[in-house]
Structure 1
Amino acid sequence: MSRVYFHSPHGTAELLGSERAWLGSIARGPAETAWGLDMHGGIDRAKAILDLAPEVPDGQFGANYLHRHLREAVAQEHANKAAYAGWRPGQPMTAPTSHEPQRQLISALRTRLNLVCLHLDGKMAATSSAVMNRPREGASSLPSQPSS
């Protein structure tokens, strides 16, 4: 498995891939709780999170599907509210309702936050699972020292 090395002037620490996966699974629960995304609680929280993420042109960062899911969920939420307006217990629904767009939005956003990260206004919002396990090409393994 992959390993992550942390270097400091006092030594090097090694984190095995299995340890990283275990720590990621432990941190994922509190991270999901902190994001506050509930499959059955409406889309307000997802809208608040995606308001921080600029919608980018197609093909960049792969985040466009989240904004598309959001637009579909908002449209369906308005349709659901219209269907429930005037409805009384014991009466048939006046129009069909669906919660599938909401489910797709919350599921896709949870997956995106758990697996990768979400670019928020030019900054990266890293999540518990977004730890890079390999150095960038050309990057030194030790921090550069300022020249005097």
Structure 2
Amino acid sequence: MSEVLNHEQIKKKITRMAYEIYERNLNSKAIVFAGISGMGKTLAHLLASELKAISPLIIEQTEVIIDKAHLATEEVQLTSAIDLQGKTLILVDDVLNTGKTLVYAMKPFLDEELYRMEIAVLVNRSHGLFPIRPDYTGFELSTTLNEHIKVDFSGEKFSAYLH
């Protein structure tokens, strides 16, 4: 197992991503961060906190509850009902592997009258089996399909490992 991002690098990536989100969404009515359960939820919270610190934008958050082992058979749910009319939705996950999880995570938002939907990931592994491309990426890393990235936001030090 080798570390690909340490705590300081991850913090810098989150700050840079927050500035990019702010720059691209100056005219948005509000931004809703929808973090995919697990590390995606944590990354969404970190991005929302950073964006609140640097901008006057209205920011809301929800969690996308999804069973990654049973994507096609389990219902995708949100932890809170949020009015999305005319707002920018940013779907957040820690790692983009094939795009399959993000495709299924979009389900609850497809019938909404969003202003725009964007995707933010900390690590993009570039194995696009589904037509998903992130709008905001912290780190691009080409890996084999047998390798895995583990992002850890628990504790005081963040890290991302390749194994």
TM-score by length of 2: 0.30
More helix, by proportion:
1
Q: Larger Cα Rg: Structure 1 or Structure 2?
A: 1
More strand, by proportion:
2
